[in-house]
Amino acid sequence: MPRHLWVRTSLVVVVLALSLWYLYPPRQNINLGLDLQGGIHLVLGVEADKYVAGQTERAAEDLKGGLERKGVAVKRVAREGLSAVVVELASPATWNDALTVAAEFGSFEVTQRDDKAGRFTLAMRERQVAQLRDDAVRQAVETIRNRVDQFGVAEPTITRQGEDRILIQLPGVQDPDRAKALIGKTALLEFRLLDEQTPVEQALAGKLPETSEILYQRRVDKETQTERKVPYVVQKRTLLTGAELTRAEVQADPNSPGNWQVAIEFTATGARIFGEITEQNVGRHLAIILDGNLYSAPRINERIPGGRAVITGQFTVEEARDLAIVLRAGALPAPVTILEERTVGPSLGADSIRQGMIAIIGSALAVLLFMMVYYRLSGLIADVALVLNLVILLACMAAFGATLTLPGIAGIALTIGMAVDTNVLIFERIREELRVGKTPRAAIEAGFHRALRTIIDTHLTVMVTAAILYNFGTGPVKGFAVSLFVGLGASLFTAYFFTRLVFDLLYMGRRKVAAVSI
């Protein structure tokens, strides 16, 4: 056998061996899409603006504190719009002191000033705003990943998509509502004091100080399943948040049998702050608030050292477990909204894979049979090439960790079509050359040679379309594009390179070829 045949044969053997190695065992190596195995696909939008606003709010608080420490009396320090802080001084005389304090806030710059009125505006720098937005999304991704990990989902996908979106795919999740609640919960835990100066009735009538707000506690009557909302007047100032938390565990609620509670433990800093709060506010009520809902507001009887607390609220064991998970994983930096959701039940996934697969395998078998009948030995070679094409295609998908979806299977079907087309092109060409009276060897040579340009042209154009599809498509369209693109690449290798090699091995080694089985 001539040397070039050896080289080509080894190449095919290496590719086949590599493919099989990547592919084996196929059940574990091929990722099935959510449409095939069931699960949840979610696209969440992070409301990064709210994070920026929150951070600005905090800066305003800090600035106010800083001004007061410096002895600058202020009329008003408040956030304005998304990322600006307005400062109104009590007297313009303290102007210079105020600006010195403001200069310490490096991420802000003074944009408007009115020396006479003693009023200026600080705006957050553009770069800082962009940075904060980015932080918000990145943190949200991290937090959600933590939560999902603790929830226990095999092979979840959690990735950032575009500027402020998060794509989440949870294969095989049985209870989608629970998973969504777990992921979407902001889980901002706050400790604030009740405003005991303002009676609830008065507050509901709209008369309440600017520093307080009304929050509700949900109470469910276990027997009638009716929900009641109890209003409380709560101070707006947050004393401590869940950020200072180290542990959260589920316990049975000793005071109300059948209900569960979550015991939390603070970090050293958190414990110190908690100690101070409880020490300074003995006799008052401390409200425990999660995402704007008040859970409980126990009376502080004495200073609580050690930084332990309990959240009660008529939880079932599942609710308590999920609450503990979100508290441990931390709060989302900003609220998220569901922009897109696709949930496929596992039974539907199984049905659609079965039906689609049967149809595709059926039509593939028919095409294989047709090729053998129409082109005889050459058709058989094309069939082997086709199977090889499938093996390489699936192996590539396994190697890249690509996901096989239903549209992906359709893409494979199309690939098969084009691979068959390639062989039909070549074989028709060889027949044509034979009709002109060429010898079998010359006809094979010319057939392959002449068809090559066409094959490359057709493959490249469709690959160009597949690449564009991949770039502009989402989800299902992407899956289709991936399998089409990879499949066409494999088709060039198998339908041309491989069949050519087999023809060469069969006919080129011999001195005389009487006929080609085509």
Partner 1 sequence: MMQLFRSPNYNFIGRRRLAYAVSAIVLIVCLGSLAVRGLRYDIDFTGGTLVQVRFEQPPTVAAIRAGLARIQLGESIIQEFGDPHEYIIRTPLTSASSEELTKRVTAALGQESALGKFEIRRVEFVGPQVGRELQLQALYAVAFGMAGILLYVAWAFKSLKGGVAAIAAVIHDVLVCLGALSLAGREFSLPVLAALLTIIGYSVNDTIVAYDRLRENRGKFVPRGKTFAEQMNDAINQTLSRTVLTALTTFFAAGVLLFFGGKTLEDFAFVLFIGVVTGTYSTIYIAGSLIVDWTERVENRVARRKKAVAKA
Scanning residues 176 to 205, which ones bind partner 1 (CB under 8 A)? 176-177, 180-181, 184
Cα–Cα–Cα angle for 262, 268, 273, nearest 5°?
80
User: Residue 222 interacts with partner 1 (CB under 8 A)?
Assistant: no
Nearest distance in Å: CB 43, partner 1? 7
Residue whose CB is less far from partner 1, 95 or 470: 470
- The tokens describing 3, both together, are 């040397």
H-state helical runs in 401-508: 406-435, 440-472, 475-491, 499-503
Joined tokens for residue 107: 């991420």
Q: Within 465-484, which residues bind partner 1 (CB under 8 A)?
A: 465-466, 468-469, 472-477, 480, 484
Judged by CB under 8 A, the residue of 116, 435, 511, 512 near partner 1 is 435
Q: Which is closer to partner 1, CB of 252 or CB of 339?
A: 339
C-alpha radius of gyration, the chain, whole number: 34
Binding status of residue 299 toward partner 1 by CB under 8 A: no
- Residue of 214, 263, 273, 424 interacting with partner 1 (CB under 8 A): 424
Angstrom distance (rounded) from CA 184 to CA 494: 47
Give me the DSSP letters along 326-343: HHHH---SS-EEEEEEEE
The CA distance from 63 to 97, in Å, is 12
Q: What are phi and psi of 229, to 5 degrees?
A: -115, 120
Stretch that binds partner 1, among 18-26, 67-75, 118-126, 420-428 (CB under 8 A): 420-428
Distance between CA atoms of 245 and 271, rounded to whole angstroms?
9
Structure-token pair, residue 476: 């299902």
Q: Please tell me whether residue 351 binds partner 1 under the rule CB under 8 A.
A: yes
Nearest approach, Cβ of 352 to partner 1 (angstroms)? 5
Figure out which of the listed residues 150, 238, 241, 352 binds partner 1, where binding follows CB under 8 A: 352
CB-CB contact of 274 with 309 (8 Å): yes
Measured from the CB atom, the residue of 107 and 458 that comes closer to partner 1 is 458
Within residues 307-346, the interface with partner 1 by CB under 8 A covers: 337-345
Report d(CA 489, CA 485) in Å as an integer. 6
Using CB under 8 A as the binding rule, the residues of this chain from 131 to 160 that contact partner 1 are none
414 binding partner 1? (CB under 8 A): yes
Least gap, CB of 348 to partner 1 (angstroms)? 4
Indicate the pairing of strand 157-161 with strand 189-193. Answer: unpaired
State which of positions 353-392 bind partner 1 (CB under 8 A).
355-356, 358-360, 362-364, 366-367, 370, 373-374, 376
The stretch among 46-54, 97-105, 122-130, 425-433 that binds partner 1 (CB under 8 A) is: 425-433
Instruction: Tell the smallest beta-carbon distance from residue 462 to partner 1 (Å).
Output: 4
β-pairing verdict for 403-404 and 31-32: parallel
Query: Which amino acid is located at 431 in the chain?
Result: R
Going by their DSSP bridges, the two strands 403-404 and 245-252 should be labelled as: unpaired
Residue of 48, 47, 82, 79 whose CA lies nearest to 63: 79
Rule CB under 8 A: say whether 292 interacts with partner 1: no
Measured from the CB of residue 353, what is the shortest distance to partner 1 in angstroms?
10
**453 vs 511, beta carbon nearer partner 1:** 453
Q: Is 444 exposed, middle or buried (0-12, 13-18, 19+ CB in 10 A)?
A: buried
The number of residues in the chain equals 518
Q: Is the CB of 395 or the CB of 518 nearer to partner 1? A: 518
3-class DSSP string for 198-233: CCHHHHHCCCCCCCEEEEEEEEECCCCCCEEEEEEE
Q: Which of 136, 413, 482, 502 binds partner 1 (CB under 8 A)?
A: 413
Q: Which of residues 19-78 bind partner 1 (CB under 8 A)?
A: 35, 43, 45
CB of 387 to partner 1, least distance (A): 16
Does 174 bind partner 1 (CB under 8 A)? Our answer is no
Kindly state the tokens that stand for 139: 């943190």
